[in-house]
Structure 1
Amino acid sequence: MIPSSLPQEASAAWELLLPAAAAPARARGRSLQSALREAVRSGRLTPGTRLPSSRDLAGDLGVSRGLVTDAYEQLTAEGYLRSGRGAGTWVSDAVRAAAPAVRDLSPRRPGDSRVDFVAGRPDLSMFPRTAWSAAQRAVLADLPHEQLGYPDPRGLPRLRTALAELLTRRRGVVADPERIVVCSGVTQAVTLLGIVLHARGERAVGVEDPGSPQYEELFATAGPRVVRLPMDDEGLALGPLRASGVRAVVTTPGHHFPSGIAYSADRRAGLLAWARETGGIVVEDDYDGDFRYDRAPVGALQGLDPDRVAYTGSVSKSLVPGLRLGWLVVPDGLADEVVARKQYMDLGNPTLDQAVLAHFMERGDYDRQLRRCQRAYKERRDVLLSALETYLPGTRVSGIAAGLHAIATLPEHYGPERRLLERCAEAGVTVRPLSAYGRAETAGVSLVLGYAHVPPARITEGVRLLAEAARPSGGRPA
């Protein structure tokens, strides 16, 4: 029964107060406050609702008047309620009901009910749980207590030393541990550089076109605006770069996304010459740099001029993105400013995670993981190529020498692009066209097909479904 003292508009909140009245005596006051607070937050007691007097509500609930008075006073102090002498107690107009549910903003899990060829993800099931757990146990047993405090904003010296050895050996980076900053992935590394460059007066940053679509929003947060610069067969086109007037550019010279090319030696030299002539800086995102299948990976551009190239990478593809661990090898001239920004941004990355990654690298587990991934991803690439040849003959495939995706350019009769994508979606295949990443000047429809996260059998099935979607019901090409 709803008590007569409770206004009709507040009746929906009444059941929330009943458990509070029945709580043990010592907890009854806190319970009543929590119940009233939740009724306001949830919107059951809406802004402007007048509550019964403390005397009436106490009588209806069977509790002391002082307990209700205390609850009203506490929630008034917190801003949930308002009151005035002789005017009663009301739900504050400043309170807004919470959203009815929390949305899951994480990417959709690949393979749940579709074949998902969207590029940019590794196979999360390949995370080396056993070796990582062993590293965690070893670190927890040996880590000194004093290292559990706020870390050096650059990162644990142990991890920076391990990273310097790894990057020098595998990628040809000039990696002094004092110039390495441990970051929450490449995104934070590039954001830090954007903030520092903007503070120095740089109002624009060049990015590759086509390229990663995230840079507009990323640099909008950091400060500089983005200038898209065209690519050609050798890398970033130098003429438009010089004409743009920018003095900072983000590049993927070891393995461009999404085309898959490696910058030519001449283009790498030309890019460094531009940086020296203008006093500019090249930000090298070593995208998928460790995964090359035809020969040894191309060495990092940074090794040719450490004072003009800021180098960044992460374990997002080699281990898992959820670790949020990456690195930035920063030129001496920017080091102090980047470290200062990093300190104020987050006070450093988690100590335990850094120590575990360092241990993982020191024992050779990271190299073993890279070799394991290399074998698995090469197998999946080969399965993709075979399936495309079988089900979509005449398709031209590029960008297959390295990385975790390929570009499949279908013959022109499989278009138009928009209708093809609609049919793929109807068939249960998720794909993205090259045009989604910027300029696409190829004839026919070009699809960027990520394969690392898709099991081999699903790759074959996905290409079969894609081929069926590319044909109308009559079975002939569209």
Structure 2
Amino acid sequence: MPGTDFLQLTMADAPARGLADWLADRLRAAIADGRLPLGSRLPASRVLAAELQVSRGVVTEAYQRLAEDGHVAGRGRAGTTVVATPITPPPNGNQPGERRRERLTVPAEPGFDIFDTMRAVPARLDLTPGVPDLGAFPRAAWLRAERAVLNDLTPAAFGYGHPAGTPGLRAAVVTWLARNRGIQADPEDVIVVAGVAQAISLVARVLQRDGITEMAVEDPGSLGSRQHLQHWGLRTPPITVDADGLRVDELRRVGSPAVMVTPAHQFPTGVVLEGERRRELMRWASEGGVIFEDDYDAEHRYDRPPVPALRAMLTDQVIYAGSVSKLLAPALRIGWVLAPPRYRDALVDAKRLADLGNAALPQLVIAHLMESGDLERRLRYARRRHRTRRDAMIGAISNHLPMATVHGAAAGLHLTITIDGLDDVALAADALAHGVKTQPLSWHSQQRRQTGLVLGYAARTPTEIAEAVAVLGDLVRGRIRVTRRGRPGSREPAGTAGTARRGRP
């Protein structure tokens, strides 16, 4: 049988049909176990086809599938290169006598360390929400920008800078927000921070000094944001989010002087704050309320037009926060706050006392990416890639979880699914035990009305997404069968559970 020295591939191992699938699987395995390390080059398609004595189309199709999964990329004359490594499956099961740690890491009442704990738990298929495609970080563009910045940098620029950030990034952020979010601002309004998390901590401290001791939050709403506010001493009364967004009438009844919202793509439901609700919220703010606008996922939209930021329409009462965590990578820890005039100096003082300001060099590199158009090109590329993965997740849910209702599909980096009557914490624990990591919706709610899962798709390939959702589908159907068998008088055969109508288990 024909073969090749490359990975000792031989057609004796190949099936009669599906040669492209077989070859793609062999290449994935070689990338995963290190025989094809990052940066290594695959043989030219015509060379490998000749050695295996198959049509060139077989090899081309296998390479294309690896490219769609994000494992390889075409480099023109440099050939096809390995750019990402598949997730390595964890060992099967636990050692004798070892406790099942996976279940212990999905508590019904998560503590402040829950996200660190979850990140440390290995999972073959990680659907954690809020994570962009880290394998697609624009390394070449970053290096070009870094070289350009260093070539022009004066020695004085390596000293201590202004705690509010470098003038270059503050000016670039103003231009970026004007182009992409319709916000008119002055560079003096911009305070560069270490991500939205630090923005929350600075705002919490400044508001407390102004006599504000509580900030209402969306419910369901981000557990992480709520934890930050609570850590810095603010109470967080929950305000219901429905299909039109935050219930402003409920906000008025609660009487909080401040509220934190994610109006462009609410986390975790994905709803957009509807027009009349926006007007109600702005009327509430004009009467003295303070809005903290986390512009979460605003740039990542697929099936709907852009939604203007609240800050674009109401300057004096809106504290606006954004970051590059979803545009580039969370590891950069760079974001920005646009402060109303009455809070600007206090926020700059709080930033000064926190850390004297962010590192200058990454700020200048990001400013260069913004000004050169590289960041906008990156955003367009990411939208196309994320749309493909979003579509793959919706298709997989339709196939494997037809009883689930999907929320927030038009934008963002995650979907939320709700399934009536299921314990989402127990389901997330079961999923983790089977190698799939996700978050229960109930984590993000203070009033416990809906159960479901929050599923991130941006960092996973379509193949991985389909596999993960298939695992979730099997687990949900198993729970439905157990529930129905336990009902008095129930005679429904176990195999019929998958025929439940959409939205009802």
Q: Alpha-carbon deviation of 1:147?
A: 1.3
Structure 2: how far apart are the matches of 1:150 and 1:463? Answer: 49
Q: Any residues of structure 2 matched to 1:77-476 within 5 Å, and which?
A: 113-277=123-287, 279-410=288-419, 415-438=422-445, 439-442=447-450, 445-472=451-478, 475=495
The sequence identity of aligned pairs, in percent, is: 42
Q: Alpha-carbon deviation of 1:401?
A: 0.6
The one-letter code of the counterpart of 1:139 is: V
The one-letter code of the counterpart of 2:211 is: G
The one-letter code of the counterpart of 2:181 is: R
Q: Secondary structure at the match of 2:273?
A: coil
Q: Secondary structure at the match of 2:236?
A: strand
Q: Alpha-carbon deviation of 1:361?
A: 0.9
Q: Alpha-carbon deviation of 1:476?
A: 5.0
Structure 2: how far apart are the matches of 1:163 and 1:421? Answer: 38
Q: Alpha-carbon deviation of 1:266?
A: 0.7
Q: Secondary structure at the match of 2:466?
A: helix
Q: Alpha-carbon deviation of 1:242?
A: 1.3
The one-letter code of the counterpart of 1:347 is: L
The one-letter code of the counterpart of 2:124 is: R
Equivalent residue pairs, number = 371
Q: Alpha-carbon deviation of 1:115?
A: 1.5
Change in CA separation of 1:418 and 1:124 when aligned onto 2, cut-off 3 Å: closer
Q: What do residues 76-109 of structure 1 show as CA deviations (whole Å, max 9, x unaligned)?
A: xxxxxxxxxxxxxxxxxxxxxxxxxxx9x95666
Change in CA separation of 1:126 and 1:408 when aligned onto 2, cut-off 3 Å: same
Change in CA separation of 1:115 and 1:134 when aligned onto 2, cut-off 3 Å: same
Q: Alpha-carbon deviation of 1:170?
A: 0.4
Structure 1: how far apart are the matches of 2:495 and 2:430? Answer: 14
Q: Which runs of 5+ in 2 are unaligned?
A: 1-112, 482-493, 498-504
Structure 1: how far apart are the matches of 2:424 and 2:320? Answer: 36
Does the 8 Å CA contact 1:427/1:466 hold for their aligned counterparts?
no
Q: Secondary structure at the match of 1:283?
A: strand
Q: What do residues 380-400 of structure 1 show as CA deviations (whole Å, max 9, x unaligned)?
A: 000001111112224321210
Structure 2: how far apart are the matches of 1:390 and 1:265? Answer: 34
The one-letter code of the counterpart of 1:333 is: R
The one-letter code of the counterpart of 2:401 is: L
Q: Alpha-carbon deviation of 1:422?
A: 4.0
Q: Alpha-carbon deviation of 1:418?
A: 4.9
Does the 8 Å CA contact 2:424/2:453 hold for their aligned counterparts?
no
Structure 2: how far apart are the matches of 1:139 and 1:418? Answer: 48
Does the 8 Å CA contact 1:282/1:309 hold for their aligned counterparts?
yes
Q: Secondary structure at the match of 1:202?
A: coil
Structure 2: how far apart are the matches of 1:420 and 1:113? Answer: 15
Q: Which runs of 5+ in 1 are unaligned?
A: 1-102
Structure 2: how far apart are the matches of 1:262 and 1:177? Answer: 28
Q: Alpha-carbon deviation of 1:218?
A: 1.4
Q: Secondary structure at the match of 1:164?
A: helix
Does the 8 Å CA contact 2:200/2:225 hold for their aligned counterparts?
no
Change in CA separation of 1:419 and 1:400 when aligned onto 2, cut-off 3 Å: same
Q: Secondary structure at the match of 2:250?
A: helix
The one-letter code of the counterpart of 1:367 is: E
Structure 1: how far apart are the matches of 2:402 and 2:495? Answer: 14
Structure 1: how far apart are the matches of 2:357 and 2:443? Answer: 35
Structure 1: how far apart are the matches of 2:336 and 2:348? Answer: 12
Structure 1: how far apart are the matches of 2:142 and 2:266? Answer: 30
The one-letter code of the counterpart of 2:359 is: P
Does the 8 Å CA contact 1:254/1:262 hold for their aligned counterparts?
yes
TM-score by length of 1: 0.74
Change in CA separation of 1:337 and 1:379 when aligned onto 2, cut-off 3 Å: same
Q: Alpha-carbon deviation of 1:204?
A: 1.0
Structure 2: how far apart are the matches of 1:312 and 1:114? Answer: 33
- Report the aligned-residue RMSD: 2.2
Structure 2: how far apart are the matches of 1:215 and 1:431? Answer: 18
Structure 2: how far apart are the matches of 1:252 and 1:348? Answer: 26
Q: Alpha-carbon deviation of 1:356?
A: 0.7
Higher alpha-carbon Rg: 1
Change in CA separation of 1:418 and 1:252 when aligned onto 2, cut-off 3 Å: closer
Change in CA separation of 1:391 and 1:436 when aligned onto 2, cut-off 3 Å: same
Change in CA separation of 1:346 and 1:380 when aligned onto 2, cut-off 3 Å: same
